[in-house]
């Protein structure tokens, strides 16, 4: 394994022309971290304005641009590319493949992303300002009443949609065609399984998003009336199309996170994952259900009662496979020889907080109750519990878990634990009070609020600053580990870690598994 035929090229051209899955994974991860900081900076502006009631720092129009860009950058720029980066690094190493199936397309799917986000961010400097209609860009706010920069926004969405579709086609082609001999589907690590299913979701729904923004483009510039009631169209149609994409999208974000957790919890419990097969089926069930629940985001548009009931029951059904997963993780830990290194702390943090987010989701699924919760801070609290404490915590756990493998150097464990506890406390101080102000009726996406919400909002803002600052500690810890971390001698790094990637040296050579490994004795999960 040790002799590699040639190393990476030198200088900038290594990164521009690379077709190596490890290089591309690294670029995805750094790019998404940069976007995480950018989206985080937007969030800090939002929380600073909401620190006290009344207008403090920014104009309402700019505040709306901040909420919009925060959502777009975090969903499409930070979370999604970070998991694609993880997939690039890990899937070939986990299934014993030498690289991704389509290395040149892989290069292109990454390199069209930075221009797309540069274009999106540049709308801030344009006349009329950046898009200010919320990350869900409901028509007619995003068509009739949109700033001129909306066209750049549409083009950016098109590009990152193309990037996602190429990336997921690549992942499916890799998993289906490049597994080492003996690596059957039901022996694949769960991270590979969840990404395979996620990639199918992406191929199915990113074109739907592209269709929605194309219709917006046509309404704005070519005189059609898809979403204009005056021209015989219907703005509610936009919401149906958007959420037909949007609900599978939230599982696109969370399924790879489930995969990560399913790798880490067994490693630090020193037990195999409980209920591997049921985990696979539960993931597939969640993916299927995601296509038939979209209208629970729009209970208040005036659907027929039968529609409300269908979407309510279908949504509640999702709690069943999700519950299977949560119980499997808990059962994996049961009577395990557990240790609590940073990746495990973030995974347990994920488990606790994601479950809270799942429960508030169940509350929101109840159609008659949702009329009260709709568009309030309760919704904001709910989706940050699943997006941040779900996706971002699991991503953080993944970085700590695999960083020693990737770099051959260990991060500072104490600093990692401090990062966890500060994040955990900061996160909860930020978002837990938002449940209360939401139930009391504070609407989302407004720069000012009634006086009775002042105390909880101040808490929220303080928590947000703490959570934001703790991510800089994370950045420092990662850089310090790469530059001067203690060298890892062991291939396994963690003594409970299982899987093919842990049979490679740390750091792995530039090219790995050019000869497929033997799977026979290898416990796959």
Partner 1 sequence: MRLSQDPTTDTVAKLGAVAVAMFAFVFVVMVPLYNVLCDALGINGKTSSEAYTAVVAQVDESRSIKVQFVATNNDGMPWAFSPDVTEMVVHPGAANDTVFFAANPTAQSMIAQAIPSVSPSRAAEYFHKTECFCFEQQPLDGNSEADMPLQFIVDQDLPADIKTITLSYTLFDVTALMRDNVASR
Binding positions for partner 1, rule: CB under 8 A: 101-102, 165, 168-169, 172-173, 176-178, 203-208, 210-212, 215, 223, 226, 229-232, 234, 236-237, 240-241, 244, 302-304
Is 332 one of the catalytic residues? no
Strands 486-487 and 409-410: antiparallel
Out of 22, 271, 297, 419, the active site residue is 297
- 135 classed as catalytic: yes
Q: Of 165 and 348, which has the nearer Cβ to partner 1?
A: 165
Residue number with CB closer to partner 1 (220 or 481): 220
Rounded Cα–Cα distance for residues 287 and 194 (Å): 10
Rounded Cα–Cα distance for residues 143 and 140 (Å) = 5
70 included as an active-site residue:
yes
Known catalytic residue at 163: yes
- Respond yes or no: is residue 82 known to be catalytic: no
Over its C-alpha atoms, the chain yields an Rg (Å, rounded) of 23
Active-site residue (options: 22, 247, 435, 525): 247
**Structure letter (DSSP) for residue 488:** P
> Which of the residues 251, 329, 406, 502 is marked catalytic?
251
CB of 181 to partner 1, least distance (A): 14
The whole-angstrom separation of Cα 460 and Cα 209 is: 32
Closest approach of Cβ 230 to partner 1, in Å? 4
Residue 3: partners with Cβ closer than 8 Å, 6 or more residues away:
none
Is 214 designated active site? no
Q: Are 228 and 140 spatial neighbours (Cβ–Cβ below 8 Å)?
A: yes
By C-beta, is 101 or 399 nearer to partner 1?
101
Reported as half-sphere exposure (CB side, CA atoms, 13 A), residue 449 has a value of 26
Q: Is 109 a catalytic residue?
A: no
Which of 18, 262, 290, 365 is the catalytic position? 262
Choosing from 70, 384, 405, 419, which is the catalytic residue? 70
- Note whether 146 and 139 are within 8 A (CB): no
The least distance separating partner 1 from the CB of residue 279, rounded to whole angstroms, comes to 24
The single residue of 47, 325, 419, 511 carrying the catalytic annotation is: 325
Closer CB to partner 1, residue 206 or residue 279?
Answer: 206
Q: What is each CA distance from 43 to 71, 117, 136, 465, 466, in whole angstroms? A: 9, 17, 17, 9, 12
Shortest distance (Å) from residue 240 CB to partner 1: 6
Catalytic residue among 123, 163, 198, 396: 163
Eight-state DSSP code of residue 5: S
Distances (CA, A) of 355 to 53, 349, 350, 390: 32, 10, 8, 9
Is-contact 199 172, C-beta < 8 A?
yes
Catalytic residue among 249, 341, 370, 498: 249
**182 in the Ramachandran plot: left (φ > 0), alpha (ψ -120 to 50) or beta?**
left
- Specify whether 325 is catalytic: yes
**Residue number with CB closer to partner 1 (74 or 80):** 80
Q: Measured from the CB atom, is 246 or 508 closer to partner 1?
A: 246
Q: Between the CA of residue 95 and those of 85, 116, 168, 178, what are the distances in Å?
A: 16, 31, 16, 8
CB of 210 to partner 1, least distance (A): 6
444 as an active site residue: the answer is yes
Q: Which two tokens stand for residue 411?
A: 């991060």
Identify which of 123, 122, 120 has the alpha carbon closest to the alpha carbon of residue 156.
120
4: annotated active-site residue = no
> Which is nearer to partner 1, 176 or 320 (by Cβ)?
176
Compute the least distance from the CB of residue 203 to partner 1, in Å: 5
Residue 49 C-beta: closest distance to partner 1, Å: 33
Whether the Cβ atoms of residue 191 and residue 94 lie closer than 8 Å to each other: yes
d(CA 490, CA 1): 15
> Is 476 among the catalytic positions?
no
Our answer to whether residue 99 is catalytic in this structure is yes
249 is catalytic: yes
User: Facing residues of 410 across strands?
Assistant: 486
Pick the closer one to partner 1 by CB: 225 or 331.
Answer: 225
In whole angstroms, how close is the CB of 150 to partner 1 at the nearest point?
Answer: 16
Annotated catalytic sites, by residue?
A: 70, 99, 135, 163-164, 247, 249, 251, 262, 296-297, 322, 325, 444
């Amino acid at each position: 394994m040790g002799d590699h035929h040639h190393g990476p090229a030198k200088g900038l051209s290594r990164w521009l022309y690379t077709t190596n899955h490890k290089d591309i994974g690294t670029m995805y991860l750094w790019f998404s971290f940069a976007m995480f900081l950018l989206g985080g900076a937007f969030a800090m502006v939002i929380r600073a304005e909401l620190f006290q009631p009344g207008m403090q720092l920014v104009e309402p129009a700019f505040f709306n641009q901040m909420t919009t860009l925060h959502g777009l950058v975090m969903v499409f720029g930070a979370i999604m590319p970070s998991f694609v980066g993880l997939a690039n690094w890990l899937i070939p190493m986990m299934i014993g493949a030498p690289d991704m199936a389509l290395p040149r397309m892989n290069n292109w799917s990454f390199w069209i992303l930075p221009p797309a986000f540069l274009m999106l961010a540049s709308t801030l400097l344009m006349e009329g300002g950046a898009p200010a209609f919320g990350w869900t860009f409901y028509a007619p706010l995003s068509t009739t009443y949109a700033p001129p920069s909306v066209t750049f926004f549409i083009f950016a969405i098109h590009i990152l949609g193309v990037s996602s579709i190429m990336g997921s086609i690549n992942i499916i082609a890799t998993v289906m065609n490049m597994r080492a001999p003996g690596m059957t589907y039901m022996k694949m690590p769960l991270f590979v399984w969840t990404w395979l299913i996620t990639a199918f979701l992406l191929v199915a729904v990113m074109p739907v998003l592209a269709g929605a923004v194309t219709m917006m483009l046509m309404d704005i510039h070519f005189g059609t009336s898809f979403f204009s009631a005056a021209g015989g169209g219907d703005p509610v149609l936009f919401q149906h199309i958007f959420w037909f994409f949007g609900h599978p999208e939230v599982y696109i974000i969370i399924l790879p996170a489930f995969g990560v957790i399913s790798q880490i919890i067994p490693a630090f419990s020193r037990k195999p994952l409980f209920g591997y097969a049921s985990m696979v089926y539960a993931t597939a069930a969640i993916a299927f259900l995601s296509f038939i629940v979209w209208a629970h985001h729009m209970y208040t548009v005036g659907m027929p009662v039968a529609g409300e009931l269908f979407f309510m029951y279908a949504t509640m059904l999702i709690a069943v496979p999700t519950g299977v997963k949560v119980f499997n993780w808990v059962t994996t830990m049961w009577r395990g020889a557990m240790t609590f290194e940073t990746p495990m702390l973030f995974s347990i943090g994920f488990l606790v907080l994601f479950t809270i987010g799942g429960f508030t989701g169940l509350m929101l699924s109840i159609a008659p109750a949702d009329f009260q919760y709709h568009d309030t801070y309760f919704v904001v609290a709910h989706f940050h519990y699943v997006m941040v404490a779900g996706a971002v915590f699991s991503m953080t756990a993944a970085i700590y878990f695999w960083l020693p493998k990737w770099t051959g150097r260990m991060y500072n464990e104490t600093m990692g634990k401090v990062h966890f506890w500060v994040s955990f406390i900061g996160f909860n101080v930020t978002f837990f009070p938002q449940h209360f102000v939401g139930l009391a009726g504070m609407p989302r996406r407004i720069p000012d609020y009634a006086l009775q919400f002042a105390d909880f909002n101040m808490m929220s803002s303080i928590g947000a600053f703490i959570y934001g600052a703790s991510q800089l500690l994370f950045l420092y810890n990662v850089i310090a580990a790469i530059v001067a971390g203690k060298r890892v001698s062991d291939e396994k790094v963690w003594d409970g870690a299982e899987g093919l990637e842990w049979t490679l040296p740390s750091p792995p050579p530039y090219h790995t598994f050019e000869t497929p490994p033997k799977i026979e004795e290898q416990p796959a999960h």
